[in-house]
Amino acid sequence: MRIPRVLTATMLAVGLAGISVPVSAATSTAAAAGQYVALGDSYASGTGAGDYSDTACTRSRNAYPQLWANANAPGSFTFAACGGAKIPDVLADQVEHLGSGTTLVSLSIGGNDSGFASTMLSCKYSTLSACERALDTAAEYVRDELPGELDQLYATVRDRAPGAHVVVVGYPHLYKEGGLCLGGLSSAKRTAVNKGSDLLNATIAGRAAAAGFAFADGRPAFAGHEICTSDPWISDSNVHPTAEGHEKAYLPALEAAVPAG
């Protein structure tokens, strides 16, 4: 997901080139034969997680795709996810890294397409009614347009990587609901934002299932560690998972969705 340049440069990435990272040959036969390609937006690239290997796309060495590759040593790893990406960007600049030898694909996309940046600006800096209007506009898109766009993308991924296990990674609830959140959103706004996340995740999960893809749900992965909790794994300043969130939430969620071997 993307926050506009006027808010902060480090939260947005526009470059779209994939990078291939060689790994040691001292791996198991299954791992050495594997080809992993990570696609998606800033929640996949690691915007906000620091230690960037590519600042234009905010690809972080702390992001869950890189962590999974480090731990599992696939035969090849292509980190194509880019902060700010929308579905057309993935189709134009990322799926080209898929091939008949690709064995694993992870994909996080849909937040920017549904207007994440403008919605969060409205909810953080405007009234509750303005926040709700922005969420209603996003919900209309998610219900009416996003399913067809996801179907097209998922069909392209399957066509280009016919033998791959594909894991679609969802988005977390951003905020703890109820109680006080000093310096944060009101309780009503937090509940409204999380409901918007539920609709987005339900739509993504439904289209992933229709395509025969696995779905890694970010909501239980981050449960108890949203913004406004005592130990948040999502940054209040950039509304993206921290390095700890990638390691302790997203990485286990991806691992659980990938078959052994």
Catalytic residue list:
42, 240
d(CA 86, CA 172): 18
**Contact call for residues 38 and 44 (beta carbons, < 8 A):** yes
- Going by C-alpha positions, the residue among 257, 218, 261, 20 that lies closest to residue 109 is 218
**Contact call for residues 166 and 130 (beta carbons, < 8 A):** no
**Contact call for residues 123 and 131 (beta carbons, < 8 A):** yes
E strands present in 97-213: 104-108, 165-169
Q: Phi-psi region for residue 88, left (φ > 0), alpha (ψ -120 to 50) or beta? A: alpha
Q: Which residues of 91-114 are buried (b: 16+ CB within 10 A; e: fewer)?
A: bebbbebbeeebbbbbbbbbbbbb
